[in-house]
Structure formats: C-alpha cells, structure tokens
Structure 1
Amino acid sequence: MTPADSPALGQPERRKEALVGTDTTRERILSLIASAGPITAAALADKLGLTSAAVRRHLGALIEDGLIADHDMPNAVDRGRGRPARSFVATSVGQRTLQADYSEVAREAVSYLRDRGDLTEFVKAHEARFVASIAGAVDPDAPMAERVEALSEALAEQGYATSVRPGPGGHTLQLCQGHCPVQEIAQAAPEWCESEARAFSSVLNVHVQRLSTLAQGAHVCTTTIPLTPALKEG
C-alpha cells in the first residue's frame, strides 16, 4: 500500500469546502472509504445504491484531489474482469477533511496542559466521561460479537466512522475506526489513544489490543477483541 498524500497538501480546507459544498454523494463515498476501507468500487456501489459508473467518476475526483489512494489487496478480484480489483483507502488529507476545524486549538490546549502537568488528570477525567457515555449501549451479558457491534454503533453516534470485521483465524473481531473526531488531540497526546483502548476494554469487559492508529499514520485505527475471553477480574 502506498497511501501517500498527493500534491498540494497544504490545502485540505479548500478541498473540504469543495467536497462538502458541492457534492454530498462524494462526501458519503469518502466517509465510507474512511470507515470501511480498503474497499472496492463495486462494494461502494452496493452499499450506497449507486451505479458502478457513478462511483468510479467520484473515485476519480477523490484521487485527483488526494483524498483517497489505491490499496493493494492480492485476494480481491474484479468479478466482471477476473483481474485484481482496485481497493481504496482515505489518505491523511482525506481524513482531515472529515474533521472539525478545532484542530489547531486542540493541539494548543494539549500542549498547555502538558506544560502545566495537568494532561494526565485531564485524560483520566475524559476517559471516565467517555466510558459513561458508551457503557449504556453495551449489554455486558450479551455475546461478545453483539457487545462489539453495540460499541461500534455507540461510537458512530459520537462521530467515529466505525466498522466491525472478523479477525484472522475467526477467534477475534477487529473494531476499525476510519475517522476519529479527536485525531488531532491523539496526535499531540498518544495517551489519548491508550485511554480510548482502556475505555473499550472496560465497556466490553475484556482485554483489547490496539494494532494501529490514525494518529500514528495508519489509514485506520484497529482494535483486536477476542471472541471467547475469560472475563476480567477486579
């Protein structure tokens, strides 16, 4: 995979304005690529109820603007042509177009808290509020797969672009976040991602493992969750 940003990286706000202001379908496609990518044009068409031709036209524009990039998926085959299918992921520029405009203020706030020695307490307080905001959506007695789906839906309501996928071997699930509304904070404070993983663990009542994060440059945050764990104690 080479999801490198295209030229003119200094203009994400211009791209965002053009994207949102002129074509909501294109914005929906970008959002779905961010949450479910790597994803093929055929899969996008199926999920959005569009023709393949319409999707490919939007994909071309998104690639030209540097918002998405090709992703190699050796096992994916274009059913119509029998050749490897092109799959797409959101670039870091594409991810930024889905974010709110508070990024610079957020980074400054994190820096200020770190300098004052208050960042750790702030992250802990946020973690407690975050757990409280999503815990009610998850039934602790439900099968793990249902808990993870419920968590994914709760996160989506808070602005995270989430999806759930089977993990390798069929013994785990992967909770994927293709968009994070607090990515700028997480980039300035890695403690934020660690806190988020602890919150997931608390709500699901199981140890989870973060494999990748948007804040560290991946195209998606991936958290692995075992399907048949022993419950945590204490």
Structure 2
Amino acid sequence: MSGESQEHGNPTVPETRSVEGDTRRQIMLMLLKHGPSTASELAGRLDMSAAGVRRHLDILVAEGLGEAVDRRPRSAAATRGRPAKVFRLTPRGRSIFGHSYDQLAVDALETLRETGGEEAVRKLARKRIQRIVEGVTPADGDENSIQRTAGELADAFDRHGYAATVTRAGAGIQICQHHCPVANVAAEHPELCEAEHEIISNLVGLHVQPLATITGGHGICTTNIPLTPIENLPEERSGS
C-alpha cells in the first residue's frame, strides 16, 4: 500500500513508506469507506488507541486532507453534553485516492469515434477549444494586433489550467503552455492538439508552427507564430 500515494504524485500526501504513513492512509481509507467518524470509532475499526488515532487525525487536518465537524444528535437526549466531534476527508483528501476522469474521457472519445467517425471527434475538439478562447479578439493583420491576440490567447489558456506564457522569439511570437490539463487524453486523441493549433492560426490570421508538445515528451507545448513569412532563397549561382 505504500506505493499508492506515490502513484498519484501528490507531494502533500504523508510519507507512506513509514509505519505511521501506512497507518494514516488506513485512517483515510476508513473515512472514505465509512464516512464521518469519531476517533473512537476509527480506533475500534483499526484496533488502535483513540489517542493514537487522534494524533494522526490532527496531522490530516493540519495538512488539509481532513476536517473536524460536529455530529448532529440523533435524539433530544443526545443533545446533553458536548456534541461528538467527527472527522471526514476534504475534497483534497479524497483526491489522494485518484480519479478516473482521464480514462472516462478516453473511453468517451473512442466511443464517439466508433459511432460518429473522425469528424465527430474533431467537432468535439473544436467545440472545446472554442469555449476556452471565447472572447479573444481576432487579429486584423498588423503586428501589434497579432501580439495583442497572442497575449489574449495565452491569458485564456492560463485561466483554464495551461500555465501559459507568451514571448517574442526572433521574427515570431511563441505561446508556451507549461502544463496541459488534458495531456493524457490528448496523447490518445491528437485531435485535441490539432484543434488548438487550428484556432490559434485562425485568430492570429497566420500559419502557426507547433515546435514542441507535452504529449511528445518535451515537457512544454510551444506554438510559434511567425511574423515574417519565410521566403524562398535565391538559387546559388553555378560554380560559386
């Protein structure tokens, strides 16, 4: 079980290679399975002391993985005395156990491809990226407007989790995405990346050049927007 938290790559997960880490994860698993529980209830399920469980619960709360709430009394008689304190996982704590959203998206796109063909997948990819860049002002042909549109595109991508930046690079502008929230899905369905390049090209009014992709193992997606068209070089003179 010690390798499970490592698999999800969350640096906030308690170190599960230690005995304490294993115990803490067992407590989290009990909270996931049984819902809000008191320290005593957890202690009974795990054959531990309530004091030992509370120490682990305090750590989970401090790390934002768990939270303490008052248990609602079941009867009027139960209102006497202090309300029982129960613990539950936060959304962050639940995320430690992973989600299957990526696989769900891949399966959905595979089904869409089978039922509607390649064009159906492209249509979905275009619809997705159009929603992301909604409101971006198309360039009107001059360099300043192209730079403005590139900046708006980077801002739009950034708002949707791409950690995007825009820089001037030689005779062009580069939009760099330092993270891709759909990288695992795009690796199976490159139509998602193709739709991004298509919409960038349409909005800046120029042919763009994908220089690097996260799905290709580069760690960054870089799209170059050449501001100066590449002209054919004159033929070399004979004997030169």
TM range, normalised to the smaller chain? 0.5 to 0.7
Q: Percent identity?
A: 32
Which of the pair has more CA radius of gyration? 2
Q: In the alignment, which residue of structure 2 is the partner of 1:162? A: 164
Of 10, 19, 28, the match for 1:16: 10
Q: What CA distance in whole angstroms lies between the structure 1 residues aligned with 2:120 and 2:210? A: 22
Q: Does the C-alpha gap of structure 1 residues 202 and 139 become closer, same or farther in structure 2, counting only changes over 3 Å?
A: closer
Q: Does the C-alpha gap of structure 1 residues 198 and 18 become closer, same or farther in structure 2, counting only changes over 3 Å?
A: same
Q: In the alignment, which residue of structure 2 is the partner of 1:130? A: 129
Q: Does the C-alpha gap of structure 1 residues 121 and 178 become closer, same or farther in structure 2, counting only changes over 3 Å?
A: same
Q: What CA distance in whole angstroms lies between the structure 2 residues aligned with 1:211 and 1:123? A: 21
Report the Cα offset of residue 196 of structure 1.
1.2
> What is the root-mean-square deviation in Å for CA atoms of aligned residues?
3.1
What stretches of structure 1 of length at least 5 have no aligned partner?
1-7, 21-96
Q: In the alignment, which residue of structure 1 is the partner of 2:84? A: none
Report the Cα offset of residue 114 of structure 1.
2.7
Contact 1:197 1:210 in 2 (8 A): yes
Q: What CA distance in whole angstroms lies between the structure 1 residues aligned with 2:158 and 2:174? A: 15
Q: Does the C-alpha gap of structure 1 residues 215 and 149 become closer, same or farther in structure 2, counting only changes over 3 Å?
A: same
Contact 1:131 1:203 in 2 (8 A): no
What stretches of structure 2 of length at least 5 have no aligned partner?
15-95, 231-240
Report the Cα offset of residue 209 of structure 1.
1.0
Report the Cα offset of residue 177 of structure 1.
0.7
Matched position secondary structure for 1:214? coil
Q: What CA distance in whole angstroms lies between the structure 2 residues aligned with 1:147 and 1:19? A: 40
Instruction: Give 1:16's aligned amino acid.
Output: N
Report the Cα offset of residue 175 of structure 1.
0.8
Contact 1:131 1:202 in 2 (8 A): no
Give the TM-score normalised by the residue count of structure 2: 0.51
Q: In the alignment, which residue of structure 1 is the partner of 2:148? A: 146
Q: Does the C-alpha gap of structure 1 residues 130 and 100 become closer, same or farther in structure 2, counting only changes over 3 Å?
A: farther
Report the Cα offset of residue 179 of structure 1.
0.7
Does residue 104 of structure 1 match 2:103?
Answer: yes
Instruction: Give 1:162's aligned amino acid.
Output: A
Instruction: Give 1:191's aligned amino acid.
Output: E
Q: What CA distance in whole angstroms lies between the structure 2 residues aligned with 1:177 and 1:111? A: 26
Q: Does the C-alpha gap of structure 1 residues 100 and 218 become closer, same or farther in structure 2, counting only changes over 3 Å?
A: farther
Contact 1:210 1:224 in 2 (8 A): yes
Q: Does the C-alpha gap of structure 1 residues 10 and 17 become closer, same or farther in structure 2, counting only changes over 3 Å?
A: closer
Contact 2:162 2:177 in 1 (8 A): yes
Contact 2:113 2:120 in 1 (8 A): no
Contact 1:137 1:150 in 2 (8 A): yes
Matched position secondary structure for 2:12? helix
Report the Cα offset of residue 160 of structure 1.
1.2
Q: What CA distance in whole angstroms lies between the structure 1 residues aligned with 2:224 and 2:13? A: 33
Q: Does the C-alpha gap of structure 1 residues 216 and 19 become closer, same or farther in structure 2, counting only changes over 3 Å?
A: farther
Q: How does 1:198-213 map to 2 (within 5 A)?
A: 198-213=198-213
Q: What CA distance in whole angstroms lies between the structure 2 residues aligned with 1:101 and 1:17? A: 20
Contact 2:129 2:195 in 1 (8 A): no
Report the Cα offset of residue 229 of structure 1.
5.6
